[in-house]
Each structure stands twice: as C-alpha cells, then as structure tokens.
Structure 1
Amino acid sequence: MATQIFTLVGVLIGALTSYFATAVAERAKFRREMATRWDERKLDTYIEYVTCIKEIQRAAMDAGRAREKGADASGALVTMEESENRRSILFETFILLSNEKAATAAHAVNQRTWELLRVARVPSSGITELRPIPLVEALNGLHEAARADLTISSSTRIR
C-alpha cells in the first residue's frame, strides 16, 4: 500500500512539474510574440512618420525653389499641407507606441517641422529662408531614439 502511495505522489509531482513548466514556457512564448508584434507596428509607424517629415521638407524646399524662380509654388504647398495632415495623425500613433525618449525626440522634430511650415507658407520666402531650419539634426536625434526603443544597436545598422 505504501509503495502505491509513493508511486501516486511521484506521478502527481511529475504531472504538476510538467504543467508548471509548460505554463511558464507558453507564457514566455506569448510575451515574445506580443513584443515582436508591437515592435513591428512601432517600426512601421516610425518609418511612416519620418517619411511624412521628409515629404514636408522636400515640398517646402520645392516651394522655395519655385518662388526664387518666380514660378507657381501652389502645387508644392498643397503636397506639403497633405503631408502635414498625415504627419499630424501619425504622430498620435507614434506617441502611443513609443517610449519617452522617442516621444521627446518626435516633439523636437515637430517643432522644427512647424518652423519649416511657417516659413514655407510665407509667400515671399525662398529656399534661402528654409535652409537654416535645423530639421535634419532633430531627425538624427529621432533616429537614435527610435533605434534605442527598438533595441537596434549601432553595430547592427547597415551603413
């Protein structure tokens, strides 16, 4: 009788150990899958946001060049405003998904972008007035913060 109880206790301990090991492994797998899913979403959002910023910058520069040549800048300004509208919407997603450092860097990019927009909207401004706005430096800070948020080290970047 005692050997049967020992056997039963051994089976029970084995079953519980197996259950807990499986539960811990499944929980870790689920967390990894969720982290990967959110990292993919974050990366897509970061790329879209930076793309909008670059489109705004390019359109503002095109408007400045057109004005310096005495040409119509309205097409470039329309493109600039459309990109700004998209950037504004994407920024909300960016803030929801990013860490504090990346969000702070994105706020700095927004400030520089708004300076660029303000100057580009002035009918008399040309490319000379647009060039000194330090948007590229703000974008570099954003790139660094985004890489850190996505745990991409500088040694893994493609050069």
Structure 2
Amino acid sequence: MATQIVTLVGVLIGALTSYCATAVAERARFRRELATRWDERKLDTYIAYVTCVKEIQRAAMEAGRARDQGGDATDALREMESSENRRSVLFETFVLLGDERAATAAHTVNQRTWELLRATRDPASGLAELRTVPLVEALNVLHQAARSDLAISRGAAGR
C-alpha cells in the first residue's frame, strides 16, 4: 500500500510539474506573439506617418518650385493639405502606440511640418524659403527613435 501511495504521489508531482512547465511556456509564447503583433502595428503606423510627412514636404517643394517659375501651385497645395489631414490622424495612432522617445520626436516633426505648411501657404514664399525649414533633421531623429522603439539595430536594418 505504501508503494502505491508513493507511486501516486510521484505521478501527481510529475503531472503538476508538466502542467506548470506547459503553462509557463504558453504564457511566454502568448506574450511574444502579442509583442510581435503590436510591433507590426507600430511599424505600419510609423511608416504611414513618415510617408505623409514626406508627401507634405514633396508637395510643398513642388509648390515653391511652381511659384519660382511663375506657375500655378494649386495642385501641389491641394495635395499638401490632403497629406496633412492624413498625417494629423496618423499622429494620434503614433502617440498611442509609440514609446515616449518616439512620441517626442514625432512632436518635433509636427512642429517642423507646421513651419513648412505655414511657409508654403504664404503666396510669396518660394523654394529657397521652404528649404530653410529643418524638417529632414527632425525626421532623422524620429527614425532613430522608431528603430530604438522597435529594437531594430542599424546593422540588422542594413542586412
């Protein structure tokens, strides 16, 4: 009888150990999957946000170039405003998903983008005035912050 109890206790301990090990492994797997899912959303949001900023910059430069050449900047201004509307909406998602450093960098990009928008909306501004807005530098800081938030090293990104 004692050997049966020892055997039963051994089986129970084995089953409990197996259950605990499986539960810990499943929990770790779930956390990894969840982190990966959010990282994918972050990456998509970061790319969409930066794309809108670049579209605003490109359209602003087109408007400035058109003015310098005596042309009509209406289409470029319309495209710039449309991209600005999308950027504004994407920024909210960016702030919700991004870490503090990335959100701070995005705020700076917003400030520079607004400076560019203000300058471009001035009918007297040409390409030279628009190029003085330091938007590219702010975007470079944002890129670094986004890579850090997504744990993308410079070496891994270049492979």
The structural deviation recorded for 1:114 is: 0.2
Q: One-letter code of the match for 2:102?
A: A
Normalised by the length of structure 1, the TM-score is 0.99
| Count of paired positions | 159
Q: C-alpha displacement at 1:117, in angstroms?
A: 0.1
Cα offset, 1:155, TM superposition: 1.5
Q: Deviations over 1:7-61 (max 9, x none)?
A: 0100000000000000000000000000000000100000000000000000000
1:20 aligns with 2:16: no
The sequence identity of aligned pairs, in percent, is 76
Deviation at 1:154, TM superposition (A): 1.4
TM-score (norm 2): 0.99
Give the Å deviation of 1:157. 1.9
| Cross-structure match for 2:51 | 51
Structure 2 runs not aligned, ≥5 long: none
Write the letter of the residue equivalent to 2:64.
G
1:110 lines up with 2:110 in the alignment: yes
1:83 aligns with 2:83: yes
C-alpha distance in structure 2 between counterparts of 1:24 and 1:157, whole Å: 32
Correspondences of 1:1-159 after superposition (within 5 Å): 1-158=1-158
Misfit runs of 4+, over 3 Å: none
